Amino acid sequence: MRGAHNPGRFCLDMVRSLFSLLAAGLTVALVACGAPSAPPQTVELIVTDPPAATRQVEVRLGAEVTLVITTPVDDRVHVHGYEIEKDIVAGEPTEVVFDATMAGTYEVESHVTDAVWLDLVVR
């Protein structure tokens, strides 16, 4: 006995179809979660000596953000919340790239002078 005349076989086929549908759905969900939902954004920051007042910059939640930071002395940037730290060589534009996946306001600070360069507002 084969095909639709075999109830056991029919059931197995249905289960297989259901599983492939589920797998397809899961893949789509994972891709949707992983992909940034906003266009990429670049924020340029040229630090002066003495540093300017803290600038507020808005970025879209889900965007890939590139901070391009140039400092007058060797420095070290800290992006609070996202917990990124990176050394900066004086006069060399340095890129800090991250996905803005958390909403809120985060300080971008110098760990050499403690100046808060930016308040990064993610929304």
In whole angstroms, what is the distance from residue 66 CA to residue 40 CA? 8
Tokens 């002078």 belong to 113
- 78 lies in the binding site for Cu ion (CB under 5 A): yes
In whole angstroms, what is the distance from residue 70 CA to residue 114 CA? 16
Q: How wide is the angle at C-alpha 39 spanned by C-alphas 66 and 101, nearest 5°? A: 65
In whole angstroms, what is the distance from residue 1 CA to residue 23 CA? 30
Closest contact distance (angstroms) between CB of 71 and Cu ion is: 15
Residues in contact with Cu ion, counted by CB under 5 A, come to a total of 2
Residue whose CB is less far from Cu ion, 60 or 82: 82
Binding string to Cu ion for residues 93 to 122, with x set by CB under 5 A, is what?
Answer: ----------------x-------------
Pairing of strands 55-59, 64-70: unpaired
- 75 lies in the binding site for Cu ion (CB under 5 A): no
Closest contact distance (angstroms) between CB of 77 and Cu ion is: 9
Closest contact distance (angstroms) between CB of 67 and Cu ion is: 14
3-state secondary structure of 51: coil
Closest contact distance (angstroms) between CB of 92 and Cu ion is: 21
Q: Give the binding site for Cu ion (CB under 5 A).
A: 78, 109
